[in-house]
Structure 1
């Protein structure tokens, strides 16, 4: 019984280390989102840190339009980054989980 418990604890610790390594790696994964007309471009990491914003000069004269483009493009970039982040982390977590009946759907 203790062998099984110790094995499970070791497996959980190993999984935790893999999750942390994956989080670090996701800091290096860059995703790009561009507004429909290409007037705003946002570069974001898979951990949702904005790294770069490029704005076409045409938008610099219209504050309201610039704000709308920024909100739209940043939100789309965050959505894309969140999807990559969740997919990567859930794959690592699922891979390391012990086979416990009834918990197989937890990380889908």
Structure 2
């Protein structure tokens, strides 16, 4: 087993992971309530970029809170799937297979 080659491959993969994370900051996910009264945008790294609230929701605090929870959770779920898919693709494609290592990426 070529340890130096493997270490180089690990560093290369680490850089690709960092590059992928930077790219995911530019991938935007838009989500909205079914009636379009609340809209959110976040990155695939799950950083909220914008929240747009229709004036109609400002009169009912409980409804607004419910909308925020529902829409943000849907957006975070989508962002998480994209994030995991992108990072899994990098790690599985570029990682040298060391016995026992595959368990770390599950």
Instruction: Name the TM-score, length of structure 2 as normaliser.
Output: 0.91
Corresponding residue for 1:33? Answer: 31
List runs of 5+ in structure 2 lacking aligned partners: none
SS of corresponding position for 2:96: coil
In structure 1, C-alpha distance between the alignment counterparts of 2:9 and 2:101, rounded to whole Å: 16
Deviations 1:28-82 (A, max 9, x none): 1101011111111100000000000011111110010001001100111111111
**Structure 2 Cα separation of the partners of residues 56 and 30 of structure 1:** 21
Structure 2 residue corresponding to 1:78, chosen from 76, 79, 86? 76
**Structure 1: 5+ residue stretches without partners:** none
Paired residue total:
106
SS at structure 2 position matched to 1:38:
coil
- 1:102 & 1:49 partners in 2: Cα distance? 33
Distance 1:82 1:99 in 2: 25
Q: Runs (4+) of structure 1 moved beyond 6 Å?
A: none
TM-score when normalising by structure 1: 0.90
Map 1:1-108 to 2 at 5 A.
1=1, 4-101=2-99, 103=101, 107=105
Deviation of the 1:105 alpha carbon? 6.7
For the aligned residue pairs, the C-alpha RMSD in angstroms reads: 1.5
Deviation, 1:100, is 3.2
